[in-house]
Structure 1
Amino acid sequence: MEKVDWHKNHINDNTIITDSYKTTQNVRRYFKSKFGEQFKFNRDFMHWMKNATGLTMGDASQEWIKCQKSK
């Protein structure tokens, strides 16, 4: 699996979530560009991200939407 620098690499829906995933400002910018200022990390979503190795950031976006609908 290609290494991703979560601080610097361009992130898009096709970016693969690697085992080196970090919750960075760059990742936050990606989600805010998709969902606006209402995007917030929460404990459950951060846990999901840590266990999402091999999935894409597009998958992560869908998971965030799913979490918001279940509130």
Structure 2
Amino acid sequence: MNNFDWHSDQITIKTPVTNTYRNTQNVRRFLIDSCGPGFKFDREFMAWVKNGKPKTMGEVAAEWLRRKQK
């Protein structure tokens, strides 16, 4: 999965966040589809995404939704 292309490969809820993760338009489209039109990146959230702990894109979407419910 290290060869995953964050610009063009299909992202699903099972896609692992790899060390090559990038905030691309493809990622933004996936997260808007998963979280709704109010999705936005912020520094604190991005630090969590890139913290090196194993996670999937489904978990990324769920975490964003959890943070917005506070």
TM-score, L = length of structure 1: 0.87
Question: What fraction of aligned residue pairs are identical, expressed as a percent?
Answer: 41
Runs of 4+ in 1 over 2 A off after TM superposition: none
Matching of residue 30 in structure 1 with residue 30 in structure 2: yes
1:60 is paired with a residue whose SS is helix
Cα-to-partner distance string for 1:41-65 (whole Å, 9 max, x where unaligned): 1111111111154210111111101
Report which of the two has the higher share of helix: 1
Cα-to-partner distance string for 1:6-62 (whole Å, 9 max, x where unaligned): 111100100000011111110000011112211111111111111154210111111
TM-score, L = length of structure 2: 0.88
Matching of residue 14 in structure 1 with residue 19 in structure 2: no
2:64 aligned residue:
64
Which residues of structure 2 form unaligned runs of 5+?
Answer: none
Which residues of structure 1 form unaligned runs of 5+?
Answer: none
Question: Which whole-Å CA distance do the structure 2 matches of 1:57 and 1:24 have between them?
Answer: 13
Question: Which whole-Å CA distance do the structure 2 matches of 1:54 and 1:60 have between them?
Answer: 11
